[in-house]
Amino acid sequence: MKTLVGIICAVVLVLPALAQEGQVKFTTEDAPSLRIRSVPIKLDSKKRRVTLSLEVENTGDKVIKAFVWRYQTKGALQGYNVSITSDMAEVTVVLTPKETKKVLLLKDALVRESIWNMPVRKIAIIGVTFEDGSSWKRNNEN
C-alpha cells in the first residue's frame, strides 16, 4: 500500500513535464553501488498519461534487494514559482553484482493538467538496501 501511495504521489506531482515535445532533460544522481543508466519514459500528451521506468545497474559486489528514489521539480504552478522535492516509496528489486535491469515505476499513469508542464530537474537514488541487511542512505541535502 505504501508503494501505491508513492506511485500516486508521483503521478500527481512528478512527471507532468519530464519531456517537452518528447525530449527529456534532467539530471540523475547515482548511489555508490547503484547507477541510473537511463530513464525510459513514454508520454501520451493527448491523454496526459505517462509510463516511467529506471534502467539501473548494480555496480557493487553485493546483491541489491531494494532502493529508494527522489525527484526534484521546479516550475510555475497556478502562477507561482514552485520547487518540489519528494522521496518516493521503496522499490523492491533483486540485482546481482554487475546486473542491469529495467524497473517499471509508473504504468500509464494519469497526470493532472495543472502540472503537466512542470519540468523535473533531477532524479536521484537516495537509499539502497542490500541482501546481507546492510544499507546506504544519501545525506538529506536537496
Q: Is residue 43 part of a domain?
A: yes
Q: Is residue 32 part of a domain?
A: yes
* pLDDT at 13 (0 to 100): 42
* pLDDT at 128 (0 to 100): 97
pTM across the whole model: 0.75
* pLDDT at 17 (0 to 100): 42
CATH number at residue 128: 2.60.40
> What is the domain count for the chain?
1
Structural domain boundaries, residue 119: 2-137
Mean pLDDT by runs of 10 across the 142 residues of the chain is: 44 42 66 92 85 93 96 78 84 97 90 70 92 92 52
**3-state secondary structure labels for all residues of the chain:** CHHHHHHHHHHHHCCCCCEECCEECCEEECECCEEEEECCEEEECCCCEEEEEEEEEECCCCCEEEEEEEEEEEEEECCEEEEEEEECCCEEEEECCCCEEEEEEEEEEECCHHHCCCCEEEEEEEEEEECCCCEEECCCCC
